[in-house]
Amino acid sequence: MRKRVLKYFGDNKPIKDMLDDVSRETEGKTTYEIIHDYGDNTVNIFFDDGVDERTEHDVLRRIVGEFYQDIYAEYDVSLSERLFDLLKLKSLKIATAESFTAGNIVSAIIENAGASEVVIEGIVCYSNRSKVDRLKVSEEDIIKEGAVSSKVAYEMAIGLLDNIECGIAIATTGIAGPNSDDTKKPVGLSYIAVGTRKGVHVYKFNLTGNRAEITKKATNNALFLAIQLLKQY
Residue span of the structural domain in which 43 resides:
2-73
Query: pTM for this one?
Result: 0.96
218 and 103 together in one domain: yes
Q: Which amino acid is at 63?
A: I
- pLDDT above 80: residue 148: yes
| Alpha-carbon distance values, 84 to 89, 117, 198 (Å) | 9, 10, 20
120 and 8 together in one domain: no
User: Is the separation of the CB atoms in 40 and 79 below 8 Å?
Assistant: yes
| Cis amide prior to 178 (ω within 30 degrees) | yes
Q: ∠ CA(227), CA(80), CA(157), 5° rounding?
A: 55
Domain boundary among 73, 99, 125: 73
Q: Looking at residues 149-160, what average pLDDT do you find? A: 98
Q: Looking at residues 197-204, what average pLDDT do you find? A: 97
> Predicted confidence band at 31 (pLDDT cuts at 50, 70, 90)?
very high
